[in-house]
Structure 1
Amino acid sequence: MPNDGKSQAAPVPQETQGGLARLAYSFTEWAETWFPDAFVFVILTTIVVAIANLATGAGPVAIAKGFGDGFWTLIPFTMQMAMVAITGYVVASSPPCTRLINRLAAFPSTGPGAIAWVSFVSMASSYFNWALSLVLGGLLVRALARRVDLKMDYRAAGAAAYLGLGATWALGLSSSSAMLQANPASLPKSISDITGIIPLSQTIFLWQSVVMGLIILGMSVLIAYFSAPKGRHVRTAQDMGCDVTEDGVVADKPERPGEWFEFTPVLPILIVLLAIGFCWAEFSKKDALSVISNLNTYNFIFLMIGLLLHGNIRSFLKAVTKAVPTSAGVLIQFPFYGAIATMLTLVLGSDGVSISHHIANVFVSIASVHTFPVVIGIYSAILGFLIPSGGGKWIIEAPYVMQAAKDLHAHMGWAVQVYNAAEALPNLINPFWMLPLLGVLGLKARDIVGFCFTQLIFHTPMVLFLLWALALTL
């Protein structure tokens, strides 16, 4: 082409924003505008449950008493969850784990690839322990966000780190209901009289359960990759105003003789030796899975590992100080969830039936042996949004759900897995379990829930289909 003397501007490349990315971005824009803080959400839920109790004929005084009686019922669990966040952060911020996380952060070469990688690490680790997936995923996101060569959307990466809780955890070794059903010493008589003991080989180790977990994992990674924002839609950690500086604790030196005790490795080693003795006694008397599934033991082991990895008391205490803010949401919101659970399960109205049983009767009454997985799956997901506790909700739900499974001659182990797979669905958009992760990332629930909702609209039909289709093979 002849040159006419006029400069020609180079064409501006157009952004290749995929359909899933546009969908996730739309949901996120909506959530950033309309989605309330997690604490507002729990207050609204409390009010709705109180109104529902009024509809059953309960008096205001009875409702208020149920609210007050239930408020502190989750205090042990609240402390356990706070320690999950703290101990996980302490371990992950130790020098050896910081080096490991930085190595993991070196693998991805693109923003969407990094988000897909976070989702895989989060879900794979959640199979072994859901608490580990939250902290490991969160710190991996922070490490990736520090890479100046990687333009990664911090919100989408945060949502990917949450997929372990929202997709696969209940199908793995930390499944509260499966562990409860397999341990006769822990199983309440109200459930054992109906189900008996159901070994793990009939729940999480069924080949149908393993196949379902792999399908969900693969689907989630693909959605995370293709829904990742690109171009001008990307919001990095810096854009969000989040501090993602190195998580490891910087070592210092004693300045006076009295500080020697804080820096010597001798004291941590002596304490860890005591811990090893305790663990030896526990594992020699009990099944290994039952020991690990106990949150107290899990937190104890993680705390001792953190103390050992930091090598001295000063470094360990600095890590604890940095970790405590990650548990703030848990400490203030869990008591309200205890009140909600009590108001849902107590008989407060004049009809002699709790709200949870009202809901259950609607679904259980329309189930057949073929529709049972889908009907109970839908019910478990709905109730899980109001009572976001896998183990606690199972104790509430199991007596009538498992009786229905028994009456319909459904596979009892698969009924547990129906509960597990469906129970994880509401976690995707429920701020309850997001709190420890959000504390690590410095984000709000509204920042990641749009991307989580994108996962939910694909997960719901797929999980319900798998529950129905795989049940036909049993």
Structure 2
Amino acid sequence: MFVVAAAAALITWGLGLVVGALMAREVAARGRGRGVQLHFPMLGASGFAGFVVWHMGYSASGPLTAATEGSFLTESLGGQTVPITETVFSTWNMLAAAATVLVVGLTLYLIAPRGETRIIELPAQKAEKQEVEAAPLETPADRLDASRVPTLLVGLALTVYLVRHFVLGGTLTLDIVNWSFLALILLLTRSAHELIALTAKAASNVGEILLQFPLYAGILGMMTATGLITVLSDALVSVSNPVTFGLFAFLAAGLVNFFVPSGGGQFAVQGPIMLSAGAELGVDPAVTIMAVSYGDQWTNMIQPFWAIPLLAIAGLKMRDILGYTTIVLIASGLVFAATLLLVSL
């Protein structure tokens, strides 16, 4: 299950969280129905653990920002961009992602509870599926909303635009990623009515995240205005050299992410500082970008902010999965640290 959640997270972080949560519930429900005892908190932790590789994949906000002309990282990159082929799609990053999935997957298998007395199953009431009745189509407007034609046409139009963009030599940027996911959503939904219903349902699961964004934005503002992020970053970087810089940038990013759990927001503040420091030491900017990316995804394993959607869907509490995700933090951290040291040699 972890492998599927990780694969989904590599496509986009939101898909990884939702797939992990839904799979945890479904696997637990089917196990209960067949009389197979499965430890539900472990399933939930495995679903969330897939999130530990999201910044190494297609929706990685830091690398995509660095590949976008005119972004806030352009000045720190000397007016240049860093192609996505040198960061997310580099050979060393893809090997690191595969190694992380392998090591974390093996770790989860080894720490899984065994023995009937230690297993906590999915409660019976949560295993029951709720049937949803379709609304009647009484007017032409209702029938149009329920038709596949409008979403299909718009989805196909966006697909044509994306194909044309790449045929003409366009590069992968954050905007293109967003457009590609919108096109995919429109092509996969059966009607505008279904799209609205799915959006409303999804919003109910992320409401707590939306409420916390102003709080974390305030923390980010305080850390930026007081220069605390600069102090933390400079303190770790000051003791590094061209070989160890990536490792210390990774640790600094992991520390900052615990207080500011936002990949884009963190890159806006910490990215330019790290890129400038790395340039002074002659470090490849691609290594610096991925070091900050690794740090951002790493400490999410003990940061409850991004676990909220999964916990809401699965019906778990953070304390139910924290022990397992802490071990995932340690295992994945070893892979990230080793990768950054090896690629800097």
- Range of TM-score over shorter length: 0.7 to 0.9
Distance 1:320 1:210, change over 3 A: closer
Corresponding residue for residue 55 of structure 2:
170
Specify the alignment match of 1:397 in structure 2.
Answer: 270
- Cα gap change, 1:176 to 1:356, in 2 (>3 Å): same
Counterpart check, 1:437 vs 2:310: yes
> 1:402: Cα distance to partner?
1.0
Distance in structure 1 (CA, Å) of the matches to 2:174 and 2:199: 25
Q: Tell me, yes or no, if the aligned pair for 2:44 and 2:321 is still in contact at 8 Å.
A: yes
Task: Tell me the residue number matched to 2:235.
Answer: 362
- Is 1:325 matched up with 2:325? no
Query: What letter is aligned with 1:387?
Result: V
Whether the aligned pair in 1 keeps the contact of 2:254 and 2:299 (CA below 8 Å) is yes
Seen in structure 2, the aligned counterparts of structure 1 residues 331 and 306 have a Cα distance that, compared at 3 Å, is farther
Is the partner of 1:453 in helix, strand or coil? helix
Q: Distance in 2 between matches of 1:294 and 1:411?
A: 25
Q: Structure 2 matches for 1:415-454, cutoff 5 A?
A: 415-454=288-327
Q: Secondary structure at the match of 2:76?
A: helix
Contact kept, 8 Å, 1:173 with 1:289, in 2: the verdict is no
Counterpart Cα distance in 2 of 1:422 and 1:407: 21
- CA shift, 1:126, in A, is 1.5
Conservation of the 8 A alpha-carbon contact between 1:174 and 1:293: no
Deviation string 1:422-448 (CA, Å, 9 cap, x unpaired) is: 221110010111112112112222221
Aligned to 1:158: 44
Provide the rounded CA distance (Å) in 1 between the counterparts of 2:26 and 2:2: 14
284-293 or 418-427, which deviates more = 284-293
**Counterpart in the other structure of 1:335:** 214
Match of 2:186 in 1: 304
Normalised to the residue count of structure 2, the TM-score between the two structures is 0.88
Query: Residue 282 of structure 2 corresponds to which residue in structure 1?
Result: 409
Partners in 2 of 1:190 and 1:390 — Cα distance? 19
Question: Within 2, Cα distance between the matches of 1:237 and 1:139?
Answer: 13
Identity of aligned residues (%): 22
Which digits, 9 at most, give the CA deviation of each residue in 1:211-262, with x for residues without a partner? 21111110111111121112211111117x7x24337x645473xx726754
How far apart are the structure 2 equivalents of 1:259 and 1:235?
A: 49
Aligned partners of 1:375, 1:341: CA distance in 2, in Å? Answer: 21
2:85 corresponds to 1:201: yes
- Cα drift, residue 451 of structure 1: 0.9
Q: Please list every run of 5 or more consecutive structure 2 residues that lacks an aligned counterpart in the other structure.
A: none
Conserved 8 A contact 1:198-1:413: yes
Equivalent in 249, 274, 280 of residue 154 of structure 2: 274
Contact 2:96–2:335 at 8 Å: present in 1 too?
no
Q: Secondary structure at the match of 1:334?
A: helix
The counterpart of 2:65, out of the listed 165, 172, 180, is 180
- RMSD over equivalenced CA pairs, Å: 2.6
Structure 1 counterpart of 2:319, which letter? Answer: R
After TM superposition, the score normalised by the length of structure 1 is 0.65
Distance 1:376 1:324, change over 3 A: closer
1:193 match: secondary structure: coil
SS at match of 1:433: coil
